[in-house]
């Protein structure tokens, strides 16, 4: 199928622009539905994006690396997952501040840029291995568009089970893993070139470059750098077994890469040692030695290894071909990712490997294996070209199904989030007109979407939102207390809490019982029993009955945001605060609160 093409980059550009459009589709959908009434918000397609945009916004506002935007703490004494994985955050925050654009605008641009660069990097990587521009472009589209389904998430899961953990394109999630995702495949290319280059000297140069790429990954995203390390182990084993003539170079390159990797991990572990003790609980670090086999990317990887063995035994592929060896390393990597705890005894939400990297690796491996098979079989190039065009078209079609499904599923939340922006901006105007109000006021927004958006659109502190504990600034117990405050002031009763818990509302169940029990896919949490729900309802009702000034001042509220057409029961909040005349903006009404105590 090999054909000489003067400019393979045009293939890559077409595929990358198509991927960028798909990534931007939910935003385009919001723009079309809102028209000139769009207020400036970005569409959130993945749950934690508001947490990441909140941290970026705090950096844009001039806060130091170790800050907690969810508690409006300018400088903390501890490290968090945000402050340790700081490179992507600053990579976004610095140009955002220099250009004078909003964090929301930056995240809109980031969706397109992430998809564009990821597709281009994958096209280039596959081309560097296969030498086939059309296959590389079609393959990149398959990997990125079908990756969600390969983790049994997105529209595939919604169609079959009716539920979903992650939808849309997980690799685009801003800014984790989106900002660093393209670098992973650059790292793979550099490592393999260091093993298989023309000379030991050239291999050493590639090894140094790979080490620097690994260093960036270390301070970018935990699941990417650990996956990179696991893959490097697989790559070393494959190269040592099959590239016998390159063993001297292999050992030299590995020594360089290992040395740089260790050096980069020293400050990383030092920063990690400075984390708050609550962070391990918040991030659901498990101590277990149990193996994990029933994960779709792992199953696909094992299937790929078996298929490779069969094709090799039948002389359909050359086992020593570069495509095949790299494919084998990609197939094998999930075995380590999902079972390293057998040795280490520690597991940290392995589902993230399934949706953010392992799924893409096994699909890329199948593309490489297909390339080796096509090359060995010497298929008719014209027919192969048509098939690849059909494959690319099918991938784009499935990508559109994922993108349109996400846009449709998140449409109501996107509308509420967009209408929340002017309400939050109104608080800034009201605050500036009253010197008695603190510069970082505490705001109660009695819906989760608005509350979760406050750190992205301002530097205010939400009384509570679903990401309050994510930086490790509060314990799960304190997070629950703040949630009880939020629920109490919002006028909800014990019956309302019972309905939410029995209905398995994720945000409420996670606040009361922890994320691992609200969503067992994150970690192996025990099922919530009816008597546990009953006890929590009793605790909340006791909290409401004994609510005192001591509770009201920790923290003291400054503003309240409620829906204008569906105002809550004000009895609890009016007991402790006087509400000024509410100001209406769009869907919401904003009150300035004055304590009665």
Comparing 596 with 280, the larger pLDDT belongs to 596
Q: pLDDT (tens digit, 9 = 90+) per residue, 335-345?
A: 999 998 888 88
Residue 377: both structure tokens together = 């079989």
Instruction: Report which of 335, 360, 337 is spatially closest to residue 348, judged by C-alpha positions.
Output: 337
List all residues 6 or more positions away from 362 whose beta carbon is below 8 Å from its beta carbon: 150, 297, 300, 301, 304, 330, 331, 334
Helices and strands of the chain, counted as H and E runs: 27, 8
Task: Provide the pLDDT for residue 91.
Answer: 97
DSSP annotation string for 144-191: HHHHHHHTT-HHHHHHHTS--SS-S-GGG-TTTTTTTHHHHHHHHHHH
Q: H-type helices in 378-514, by residue range?
A: 381-409, 411-432, 448-457, 476-489, 494-502, 506-513
Task: Provide the pLDDT for residue 292.
Answer: 85
For CA atoms 290, 294, 295, 301, the dihedral sign is positive
Q: To 10 degrees, what angle do helices 322-337 and 222-242 make? A: 130
The answer on pLDDT for 1 being more than 80 is no
The answer on pLDDT for 398 being more than 80 is yes
Q: What are phi and psi of 559, to 5 degrees?
A: -140, 155
Q: pLDDT (tens digit, 9 = 90+) per residue, 179-205?
A: 999 999 999 999 999 998 888 899 999
Residue 532 Cα distances to 479, 481, 508, 538, 539, angstroms: 18, 17, 14, 10, 11
Lowest mean pLDDT of 157-161, 281-285, 382-386, 501-505, name the range. 281-285
Task: Provide the pLDDT for residue 312.
Answer: 92
Collapsed DSSP state (helix, strand, coil) of residue 210: helix
The answer on pLDDT for 2 being more than 50 is no
Percent of the chain scored above 70 by pLDDT?
97
Task: Provide the pLDDT for residue 284.
Answer: 63
Q: Are 441 and 80 in contact (CB under 8 A)?
A: no
Q: pLDDT (tens digit, 9 = 90+) per residue, 204-256?
A: 999 999 999 999 999 999 999 999 999 999 999 999 999 988 899 999 999 99
Collapsed DSSP state (helix, strand, coil) of residue 358: helix
Spatial separation of the C-alpha atoms in residues 56 and 583, rounded to whole Å? 29
Can you say whether residue 100 is alpha, beta or left, with left for phi > 0 and alpha for psi between -120 and 50 degrees? left
Task: Provide the pLDDT for residue 281.
Answer: 67
Q: pLDDT (tens digit, 9 = 90+) per residue, 100-117?
A: 999 999 999 999 999 999
Judged on CB neighbours under 10 Å (0-12, 13-18, 19+), 348 is middle
- Give bridge partners of residue 347 from the DSSP assignment: 286
Instruction: Report which of 236, 229, 239 is spatially closest to residue 264, judged by C-alpha positions.
Output: 229
The answer on pLDDT for 3 being more than 50 is no
Q: How many alpha carbons fall within 13 Å on the CB side of residue 289?
A: 2
Task: Provide the pLDDT for residue 439.
Answer: 87
Spatial separation of the C-alpha atoms in residues 212 and 201, rounded to whole Å? 17
Distance from chain centroid for Cα 112: 15
Residue 119 Cα distances to 50, 125, 533, angstroms: 24, 10, 46
Q: Please count the residues of the chain.
A: 597
Q: pLDDT (tens digit, 9 = 90+) per residue, 579-595?
A: 988 999 999 999 999 99
- Give bridge partners of residue 73 from the DSSP assignment: 68
Residue 482: both structure tokens together = 């703040």
Residue 334 Cα distances to 123, 211, 241, 294, 358, angstroms: 22, 22, 20, 11, 6
Confidence of residue 346 (pLDDT cuts 50, 70, 90): confident
Count CB-CB contacts under 10 A for residue 389: 13
Residue 267 Cα distances to 180, 218, 272, angstroms: 19, 10, 8
Q: pLDDT (tens digit, 9 = 90+) per residue, 566-579?
A: 889 999 999 999 99
Question: Do you find a cis peptide bond into 106, omega within 30 degrees of 0?
Answer: no
Instruction: Report which of 137, 119, 101, 115 is spatially closest to residue 45, judged by C-alpha positions.
Output: 115
Q: pLDDT (tens digit, 9 = 90+) per residue, 134-181?
A: 999 999 999 999 999 999 999 999 999 988 888 899 999 999 999 999
Spatial separation of the C-alpha atoms in residues 141 and 392, rounded to whole Å? 6
Q: H-type helices in 73-132, by residue range?
A: 81-84, 87-99, 103-130
Judged on CB neighbours under 10 Å (0-12, 13-18, 19+), 284 is middle
Confidence of residue 6 (pLDDT cuts 50, 70, 90): low
Instruction: Report which of 460, 353, 352 is spatially closest to residue 69, judged by C-alpha positions.
Output: 460
Residue 268 Cα distances to 59, 264, 356, angstroms: 20, 7, 21
Residue 151 Cα distances to 128, 157, 356, 359, 498, angstroms: 26, 9, 9, 6, 33
The answer on pLDDT for 560 being more than 70 is yes
């Amino acid at each position: 199928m090999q054909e000489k093409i003067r400019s393979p980059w045009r293939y890559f550009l077409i595929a990358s622009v198509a991927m960028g459009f798909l990534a931007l589709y939910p935003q385009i959908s919001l723009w079309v539905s809102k028209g000139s009434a769009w207020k400036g918000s970005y569409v959130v397609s993945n749950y934690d994006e508001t947490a990441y945009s909140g941290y970026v916004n705090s950096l844009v506002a001039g806060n130091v690396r170790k800050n907690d935007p969810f508690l409006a703490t300018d400088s903390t004494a501890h490290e968090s997952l945000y402050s340790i994985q700081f490179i992507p955050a600053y990579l976004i925050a610095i140009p955002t501040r220099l250009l004078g654009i909003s964090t929301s605008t930056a995240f809109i641009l980031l969706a397109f840029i992430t998809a564009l660069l990821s597709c281009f990097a994958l096209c280039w990587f596959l081309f560097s291995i296969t030498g086939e521009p059309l296959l590389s472009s079609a393959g990149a589209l398959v990997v990125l568009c079908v990756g969600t389904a390969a983790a049994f998430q997105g529209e595939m899961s919604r169609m079959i089970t009716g539920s979903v953990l992650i939808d849309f394109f997980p690799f685009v999630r801003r800014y984790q893993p989106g900002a660093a995702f393209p670098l992973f495949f650059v790292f793979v290319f550099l490592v393999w070139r260091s093993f298989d280059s023309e000379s030991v000297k050239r291999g050493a140069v590639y090894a140094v470059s790979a080490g620097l790429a690994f260093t960036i990954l270390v301070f970018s995203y935990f699941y990417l750098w650990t996956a990179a390390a696991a893959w490097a182990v697989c790559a070393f084993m494959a190269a040592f077994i099959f590239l016998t003539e390159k063993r001297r170079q292999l050992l030299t390159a590995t020594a360089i890469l290992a040395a740089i990797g260790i050096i980069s991990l020293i400050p990383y572990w030092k920063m990690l040692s400075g984390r708050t003790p609550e962070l391990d609980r918040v991030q659901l670090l498990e101590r277990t030695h149990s193996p994990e086999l029933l994960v779709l990317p792992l199953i696909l990887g094992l299937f790929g290894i078996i298929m490779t063995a069969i094709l090799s035994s039948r002389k359909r592929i050359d086992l020593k071909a570069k495509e095949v060896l790299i494919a084998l390393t990609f197939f094998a990597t999930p075995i380590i990712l999902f079972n390293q705890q057998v040795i280490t005894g520690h597991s940290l939400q392995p589902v993230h490997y399934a949706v953010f990297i392992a799924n893409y690796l096994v699909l890329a491996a199948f593309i490489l294996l297909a390339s080796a098979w096509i090359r060995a079989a010497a298929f008719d190039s014209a027919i192969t070209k048509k098939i690849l065009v059909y494959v690319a078209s099918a991938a784009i079609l499935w990508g559109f199904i994922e993108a349109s499904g996400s846009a449709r599923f998140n449409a109501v939340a996107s509308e509420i989030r967009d209408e929340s922006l002017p309400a939050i901006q109104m608080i800034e105007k009201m605050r500036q007109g009253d010197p008695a109000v603190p510069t970082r006021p505490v705001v109660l927004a009695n819906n989760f979407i608005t509350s979760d958006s406050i750190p992205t659109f301002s530097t205010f502190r939400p009384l509570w939102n679903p990401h309050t504990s994510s930086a490790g600034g509060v314990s799960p117990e304190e997070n629950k207390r703040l949630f009880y405050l939020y629920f109490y002031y919002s006028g909800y009763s014990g019956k309302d809490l019972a309905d939410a818990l029995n209905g398995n509302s994720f945000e409420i169940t996670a606040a009361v019982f922890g994320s691992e029990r609200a969503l067992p896919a994150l970690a192996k949490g025990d099922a919530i029993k009816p008597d546990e729900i009953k006890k929590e309802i009793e605790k909340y009702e006791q909290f409401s009955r004994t609510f005192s000034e001591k509770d009201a001042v920790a923290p003291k509220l400054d503003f309240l945001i409620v829906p204008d057409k569906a105002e809550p029961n004000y009895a609890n909040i009016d007991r402790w605060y006087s509400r000024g005349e509410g100001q209406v903006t769009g869907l919401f009404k904003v009150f300035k609160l004055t304590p009665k105590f």
